[in-house]
């Protein structure tokens, strides 16, 4: 059976995470429609050995370009109609493929996005106010507001491969925000179909990519985002957003 969904997971020397994630994917309903594409560095022999034991439809991609190239390399080799990206410490809703298949049968959408949620290392929901704001913005999706706030939870986004290919998949700006640029460029091509249900759970802590903060990368990200708009007012708002985050993270937290 040809896969409908390809889920790309870059990983490096995190076998414990992959053990949990593989059990999670094996427990999914309609997993026969899934192709799991794991992108692993060539020197990570322990992970490669473990992945060969997983009894799920999978594709192991050997990578040598680090995380910046892993997403793009995985997407290029994926064979599913719809592509999504899942961190090795993130999880999906138990019946996500049933929900997506029902939507595809009715509408055959180009791009599907559902709500997301943040969890800690124990699986408890956290950052609830942030989640509410992001999900509210998503439910009122607008490509202008997307230029100001990245409210799309990456594991909850499923897009047809041919459209991801049009925007060059994830651009290699740096790990923090390459998906954001991709969503902005996709929004110029098509408006997504919104599923008002939580489809994924992203792990969030200081040790995870989503929980860490690097102001240089953040400034670099918004400089790239600003290039996606020729609206001076939007560019000014982007500038003030950067100022606010720098103030909040570099001054307020250090003083108090």
- The pLDDT value given to residue 121: 82
- Among 54-58, 152-156, 212-216, whose mean pLDDT is lowest? 212-216
Of the ranges 24-33, 41-50, 60-69, 74-83, which one carries the lowest mean pLDDT score? 60-69
Lowest mean pLDDT among 42-51, 178-187, 193-202: 178-187
Is the domain of 133 the same as that of 247? no
Q: What is the tally of helices (H) and strands (E) in the chain?
A: 11, 9
Q: Which of 159-168, 212-221, 227-236 has the highest mean pLDDT?
A: 159-168
CATH code of the domain in which 195 resides: 3.90.550.10
**Stretch 52-77: mean pLDDT, rounded?**
87
Does pTM surpass 0.95? no
Q: Are residues 17 and 126 in the same domain?
A: yes
Do 217 and 202 lie in one domain? The reply is no
Task: Give the C-alpha separation, 38 to 60, whole Å.
Answer: 5
Q: Residue 197 is part of which domain span? A: 5-210
Task: Indicate if 176 and 187 belong to the same structural domain.
Answer: yes
- 77-97 burial, b for 16+ CB within 10 Å, e for fewer? ebebbbbbbbbbbbbbbeebb
Q: Residue 255: what pLDDT?
A: 47
Query: What's the pLDDT at 209?
Result: 52
* Residue 6 bridge partners (DSSP): 35, 83
Q: State how far the Cα of 243 lies from the Cα of 49, in Å rounded to an integer.
A: 46
User: Does 253 have pLDDT greater than 60?
Assistant: no
Q: Is there a single domain that holds both residue 60 and residue 79?
A: yes
Whether 166 and 185 share a structural domain: yes
The total number of structural domains that make up the chain:
2
Question: Does residue 167 share a domain with residue 95?
Answer: yes
For residues 65 and 179, the model is more confident at 179
* Cβ atoms within 10 Å, residue 252: 9
Say if residue 190 is in the same domain as residue 223: no
Q: What's the whole-number average pLDDT of the chain?
A: 88
């Amino acid at each position: 059976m040809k896969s409908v969904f390809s889920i790309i997971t870059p990983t490096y020397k995190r076998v414990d995470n992959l053990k949990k994630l593989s059990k999670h994917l094996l427990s999914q309903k309609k997993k026969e429609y899934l192709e799991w594409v794991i992108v692993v560095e060539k020197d990570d022999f322990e992970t490669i050995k473990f992945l060969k034991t997983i009894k799920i439809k999978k594709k192991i991609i050997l990578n040598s370009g680090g995380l910046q190239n892993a997403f793009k390399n995985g997407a290029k080799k994926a064979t599913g109609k719809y592509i999504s990206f899942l961190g090795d410490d993130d999880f999906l809703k138990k019946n996500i493929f049933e929900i997506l298949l029902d939507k595809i049968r009715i509408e055959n959408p180009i791009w599907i996005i559902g709500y997301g949620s943040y969890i800690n290392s124990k699986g408890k929901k956290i950052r609830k106010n942030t989640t509410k704001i992001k999900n509210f913005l998503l439910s009122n999706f607008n490509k202008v507001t997307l230029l100001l706030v990245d409210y799309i939870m990456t594991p909850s986004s499923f897009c047809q491969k041919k459209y991801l290919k049009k925007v060059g998949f994830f651009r290699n700006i740096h790990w923090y925000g390459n998906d954001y640029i991709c969503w902005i460029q996709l929004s110029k091509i098509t408006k997504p179909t919104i599923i008002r249900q939580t489809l994924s759970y992203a792990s969030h802590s200081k040790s995870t990519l989503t929980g860490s903060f690097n102001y240089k990368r953040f400034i670099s990200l918004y400089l790239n985002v600003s290039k996606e708009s020729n609206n001076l007012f939007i560019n000014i708002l982007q500038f003030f957003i950067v100022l606010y985050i720098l103030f909040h993270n570099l001054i307020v937290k250090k003083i108090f």
